[in-house]
Amino acid sequence: MPRVVVPLAGRPYDVRIAPGLLANAGRLIARATRARHLLIVSDRRVDSLHGAALRRALGREFRIDRAVVPAGEASKSLAVAERLYGAARDANLGRDGAVLAFGGGVVGDLAGFVAATWQRGVDFLLVPTTLLSQVDSAVGGKVAVNVGGIKNSVGAFHQPRLVLADTDLLATLPRRELASGLAEVVKYGMIADAALFTRLEREAGELSAGHPGRLSRVVADCCRIKARIVGEDERESGVRTLLNYGHTIGHAFEAVAGGRLRHGEAVALGMRGAARLAVGVGWLSEGDRERQDTLLDRFRLPARFPGPRVVELLAKIKQDKKVRDRRLRFVLTRGIGSASVAPPIEDAEVRRVLAALLHS
């Protein structure tokens, strides 16, 4: 069973990846934490599809309390976090208890935020159920809620004790959610792993169809890349920034789309834009840009998002943390499999690239 260690000084933790892993959850969790009292946080959809299987797997060894929140980004709020504090209080969850997130990135970020803050921090366990959360959000300890209309504006670094990625859970994932996760997978290929990228090109058909074996291997590869990067730079003061490839433009689209774009869909648009910028500065060949875009097409990820205006998107981008000296900096690739932060780019060039993403 693939096991990836997130090599954090003082407190490394395991990410386990395998089809059918859920059945071993009780034994693996009992080894990773001393807690025998768990507050399981889930959304309605995941709870109704897979909640019973998780509880069965945990067996009699744990005292279990459950909190179920509505599915969707709106649950990443202080109001919902407060309801979870209420659930923790009603369950008498003490410092020797743990919060277990069972769901996608929304549940993971929200439950992790509660675990980081309830009684100044309790153990945190993650059982991610979307491809996006298995390849990305479950590894690295960033937890947050959205406050004041700004995504992830209030949060913490709170690393889990264990991450269990059961790729069988992906079988019930809607096609659009699977594609959204595949966008982040393409990102890892572009920034860090040319061999992974080539395999994605070869296996694109099977991956979009949800082939469990192919997906497991991809999840393991992505977790390995993310674990290495997080191990080098837990607090994002250096190399971890590269994981934001496609996210500067992507977040702007996500913000103006008001829920009409999945996170990965917005990131796909952002990567298409970033690749154009990279060609413009002479870092990426036109051929490699086409390879990226063709792969995104094969995963049926959007190439255009008509509606917003260029000025609106540019304003959102400028709110982004990475603006320095009022000129924009982007993570760009120097060929497939390698990325760096590029020198500042003129607004006119960014506008040109944004316009291309708005019109066909």
Ligand X SMILES: NC(=O)c1ccc[n+]([C@@H]2O[C@H](COP(=O)([O-])OP(=O)(O)OC[C@H]3O[C@@H](n4cnc5c(N)ncnc54)[C@H](O)[C@@H]3O)[C@@H](O)[C@H]2O)c1
What are the residue numbers of the active site? 120, 142, 184, 226, 236, 240, 244, 247, 251, 263
Determine, following the binding rule CB under 6 A, whether residue 169 of this chain makes contact with ligand X: yes
> Residue 333: in which H helix or E strand, if any?
strand 331-333
Determine, following the binding rule CB under 6 A, whether residue 46 of this chain makes contact with ligand X: yes
C-alpha pair distances (Å), 335 with each of 73, 121, 200, 291: 34, 42, 16, 11
> Residue 257: in which H helix or E strand, if any?
helix 247-257
Please compute Rg for the chain using Cα positions: 20
Scanning residues 139 to 158, which ones bind ligand X (CB under 6 A)?
140, 142, 152
- At closest approach, how far in Å is the CB of 131 from ligand X? 8
- At closest approach, how far in Å is the CB of 115 from ligand X? 13
**Are 148 and 252 contacting, i.e. CB atoms less than 8 angstroms apart?**
no
Residues 6+ apart with CB under 8 A from 351: 310, 314
What residues does 340 pair with on adjacent strands? 332
- At closest approach, how far in Å is the CB of 358 from ligand X? 23
- At closest approach, how far in Å is the CB of 132 from ligand X? 4
Among 179, 193, 174, which Cα is nearest to 297's?
179
Parallel, antiparallel, or unpaired: how do β-strands 13-18 and 339-341 relate? Answer: unpaired
C-alpha–C-alpha distance, residues 185 and 349, integer Å: 27
Q: Which is nearer to ligand X, 130 or 248 (CB)?
A: 130
Determine, following the binding rule CB under 6 A, whether residue 180 of this chain makes contact with ligand X: yes
Determine, following the binding rule CB under 6 A, whether residue 250 of this chain makes contact with ligand X: no
Judged by CB under 6 A, the stretch of 72-80, 271-279, 320-328, 349-357 that binds ligand X is 72-80
Determine, following the binding rule CB under 6 A, whether residue 230 of this chain makes contact with ligand X: no
C-alpha–C-alpha distance, residues 32 and 14, integer Å: 9
Determine, following the binding rule CB under 6 A, whether residue 269 of this chain makes contact with ligand X: no
C-alpha–C-alpha distance, residues 320 and 347, integer Å: 14
C-alpha–C-alpha distance, residues 310 and 70, integer Å: 33
C-alpha–C-alpha distance, residues 293 and 177, integer Å: 19
Judged by CB under 6 A, the stretch of 43-51, 87-95, 207-215, 331-339 that binds ligand X is 43-51
> Residue 151: in which H helix or E strand, if any?
strand 150-157
Look at residue 109 and give its three-state secondary structure: helix
- At closest approach, how far in Å is the CB of 351 from ligand X? 26
Q: Which is nearer to ligand X, 85 or 157 (CB)?
A: 157
Among 92, 172, 285, 294, binds ligand X (CB under 6 A): 172
Fill in the per-residue mask, 97 to 136: x = in contact with ligand X (CB under 6 A), - = not in contact: ------xxxxx-x-------------------xx-xx--x
- At closest approach, how far in Å is the CB of 105 from ligand X? 2
Residue nearest to ligand X (CB): 105
Residues that bind ligand X (CB under 6 A): 43, 45-46, 49, 71-73, 76, 103-107, 109, 129-130, 132-133, 136-137, 140, 142, 152, 169, 172-173, 177, 180, 263
